[in-house]
Amino acid sequence: MGEMNKKVNVISCIFLLSILSFNAQSQTIGVEAKAPAYKLPEMLISSKGEKIQTPEDWINIRRPEIITLFGEYVYGRFPGTCLEKKFETVKIDSNALCGKAVQKNIVACFIKDGDTIPMELLIFIPAHATKPVPLFVGMNFYGNQSILPDPGIPVTKSYVLNNPEYHIFNHTATEESRGADSSSWPVERILERGYGLATFCYDDLDPDFDDGFKNGIHSLLDYSEKNDSNELSSISAWAYGLTTAMDYFETDERINKNQIVVIGHSRLGKAALWAGAIDQRFAMVISNNSGCGGAALSRRIAGETVKDINTRFPHWFCKNFHDFNDKENEIPVDQHMLIGLIAPRPVYVGSAEQDEWADPYGEFLSLYHAGPAYTLFGLEILEKDTLPEINKPLWTGKMGYHIRTGGHAITRFDWEKYLDFADYHFDRKDK
Ligand code: GCU
């Protein structure tokens, strides 16, 4: 009997220990436990070693320094003002989506020495809006026609051109692909909540394959052959598209140019963060599952690493970034500084529990370590470096974060939380 009791005790001990260790594992979100020790570069020490103590010093000294570092070592130079831009309205439909929206199709043209690259911008404005509306802008992966099964949306030409053989979830990149990615784009819900939505296909700026930076808008830029280590990357080209869309919004009286939210999922979340960091006209920045080179800290070496991403996607970052394969600790910046550049504007980072490749905890930690930039403006910051509960958004000051159940995607849950956050910060409680 005594022996039997001992056995039962040993078995229950083992059972208890395994429950405890399972809990510990789930709290550490997979790869966290393996992250090596690291020291992040200082957000508030200038290159001359001065301590940045005021918003003015941040704006005039440290912010430009950090932008230059990201441009030089991570994303590559931005084209600046060397391309001429023109906007052409090709269609306005005041009775789109069964009367729910005004649809506008704008072509933004990038022009250099007579050559033109078009970017097809699709905009929906809630039909019954009585004043300029706040608006979300985000790029799409598969052409404008993929966001809704609506025959009134022109099929994006660059997508068809660059992906003739490609199948979007079993649909060829043609008429057949209408609405193929509609689960990522709850258009009617966004309109119902009083927001406009604008989108364009990232292929318009730069098709997503490595061709040595020659296609897309690269074809219009004459960077010197000898000094191309910090050349505009694909992510910078995509981000440049977002800032160009912003140029257009400033001219459209149906849009509230002070309430534009830039949003992106995954690789397009990396571009949304970079665009939002550089261009302060964006009033709010949202990263959804953007991972390595986006919201996740590189130095954690958890999930996708710098070497992983540079190997699989050599065109996403500038050539200098490849020097940091397996040398994350030598990058002069880390991704918390990208989020710091958004201060004092609202920023929201969305992660997914099963998206370990994007290192959810590393995404959260970037937001946490962006704190010092927000503190300079007297804003509240995240108190603790521990993840909030799953599916329970955490908002502090201008920072928002959630980790939801499920995997790598932008879901209805994510959109609802982003819309709630925008309502709150745009003071739209009684809309
Ligand atoms: C790959 C890549 C990620 C990226 C993702 C996406 O998984 O490794 O860095 O975020 O694609 O864009 O879907």
Is the minimum distance from the CB of 414 to ligand 1 under 6 angstroms?
no
pLDDT score, position 164? 62
pLDDT score, position 32? 52
Residue 387 pLDDT greater than 50, yes or no: yes
pLDDT score, position 98? 96
pLDDT score, position 14? 39
Is the minimum distance from the CB of 292 to ligand 1 under 6 angstroms?
yes
Determine the distance from the C-alpha atom of residue 395 to the mean position of all C-alpha atoms in its chain, rounded to a whole number.
18
pLDDT score, position 81? 77
Contact 422, 196 (CB under 8 A): no
Place of tokens 């404008």: 144
pLDDT digits (tens, 9 = 90+) for 90-149: 999 999 999 999 999 999 999 999 999 999 999 999 999 999 999 999 999 999 999 999
Mean pLDDT of 150-159: 89
Whether 94 is catalytic = no
Is the minimum distance from the CB of 291 to ligand 1 under 6 angstroms?
yes
| CA-angle at 56, arms to 52 and 58, nearest 5° | 45
Mean pLDDT of 276-291: 98
Query: What 3-state class would DSSP assign to 230?
Result: coil
The CB density around residue 250, as the number of other CB atoms within 10 Å, is 11
Residue with CA at minimum distance from ligand 1 atom 8: 309
pLDDT score, position 34? 63
Is the minimum distance from the CB of 346 to ligand 1 under 6 angstroms?
no
Determine the distance from the C-alpha atom of residue 14 to the mean position of all C-alpha atoms in its chain, rounded to a whole number.
44
Mean pLDDT of the residues in the chain: 89
pLDDT score, position 205? 95
Domain locations in the chain?
26-425
The CB density around residue 83, as the number of other CB atoms within 10 Å, is 17
Residue 159 pLDDT greater than 90, yes or no: no
Query: What 3-state class would DSSP assign to 52?
Result: coil
Among 74-83, 147-156, 345-354, 385-394, whose mean pLDDT is lowest? 74-83
* Spatial separation of the C-alpha atoms in residues 134 and 1, rounded to whole Å: 73
- Sheet with 133-140, strands from edge to edge, namely 84-95, 101-112, 115-126, 196-201, 133-140, 255-265, 284-288, 347-352, 399-404, 394-396
Amino acid at 312: R
Sign of torsion over alpha carbons 293, 294, 299, 300: negative
The CB density around residue 47, as the number of other CB atoms within 10 Å, is 12
pLDDT score, position 78? 82
Q: Quick one: CA torsion of 140, 144, 149, 153, rounded to 10 degrees?
A: 160
Residue with CA at minimum distance from ligand 1 atom 7: 357
Tell how strand 84-95 and strand 101-112 pair up. Answer: antiparallel
The CB density around residue 412, as the number of other CB atoms within 10 Å, is 11
* Residue of 357, 359, 363, 410 best suited for mutating to test ligand 1, as the one with most atoms within 8 Å of CB: 357
Distance 267 CA to ligand 1 centre (A): 6
Is the minimum distance from the CB of 271 to ligand 1 under 6 angstroms?
no
Residue 218 pLDDT greater than 80, yes or no: yes
Contact 320, 392 (CB under 8 A): no
Residue 65 pLDDT greater than 90, yes or no: yes
pLDDT digits (tens, 9 = 90+) for 5-56: 433 343 343 344 433 333 333 334 444 556 788 999 999 999 999 999 999 9
* Among candidate residues 135, 130, 117, 271, the one with its CA nearest the CA of residue 196: 135
Query: What 3-state class would DSSP assign to 340?
Result: helix
Distance 185 CA to ligand 1 centre (A): 19
Element (H, E) at 259: strand 255-265
Distance 210 CA to ligand 1 centre (A): 15
Q: Which of the 8 DSSP states describes residue 45?
A: B
Predicted structure pTM score: 0.91
Distance 383 CA to ligand 1 centre (A): 30
Whether 266 is catalytic = yes
Mean pLDDT of 281-298: 98
Determine the distance from the C-alpha atom of residue 363 to the mean position of all C-alpha atoms in its chain, rounded to a whole number.
12
The CATH class given to the 26-425 domain equals alpha beta
pLDDT digits (tens, 9 = 90+) for 240-267: 999 999 999 999 999 999 999 999 999 9
Which of the residues 146, 158, 266, 366 is marked catalytic? 266
Distance 108 CA to ligand 1 centre (A): 27
* Spatial separation of the C-alpha atoms in residues 62 and 60, rounded to whole Å: 7
pLDDT score, position 176? 80
Residue 219 pLDDT greater than 70, yes or no: yes
Is the minimum distance from the CB of 363 to ligand 1 under 6 angstroms?
no
Mean pLDDT of 159-173: 62
The residues near 66 (Cβ < 8 Å, ≥ 6 apart) are 43, 333, 337, 340, 341
CA 286 to each of CA 189, 248, 269: distance values in angstroms, whole numbers, following the listed order: 18, 20, 7
Distance 270 CA to ligand 1 centre (A): 10
Contact 293, 274 (CB under 8 A): no
Long-range contacts of 45-54 (CB under 8 A, 24+ apart): 52/376, 53/376, 54/376
* Residue of 181, 266, 270, 313 best suited for mutating to test ligand 1, as the one with most atoms within 8 Å of CB: 266
pLDDT score, position 396? 98
Residue 170 pLDDT greater than 70, yes or no: no
* Spatial separation of the C-alpha atoms in residues 390 and 150, rounded to whole Å: 35
Taking the CA atoms of the chain, what radius of gyration do you get in angstroms?
23
The residues near 28 (Cβ < 8 Å, ≥ 6 apart) are 361
pLDDT score, position 225? 44
pLDDT score, position 200? 98
* Spatial separation of the C-alpha atoms in residues 292 and 350, rounded to whole Å: 14
Which atom of ligand 1 lies closest to the CA of 304? 8
Percent of the chain with pLDDT over 90: 78
Mean pLDDT of 53-67: 98
Which of the residues 219, 229, 322, 408 is marked catalytic? 408
pLDDT score, position 215? 86
pLDDT score, position 355? 98
Buried b (16+ CB within 10 A) or exposed e, 114-150: eeebbbbbbbbbbbebeebbbbbbbbbbbbbbbbbeb
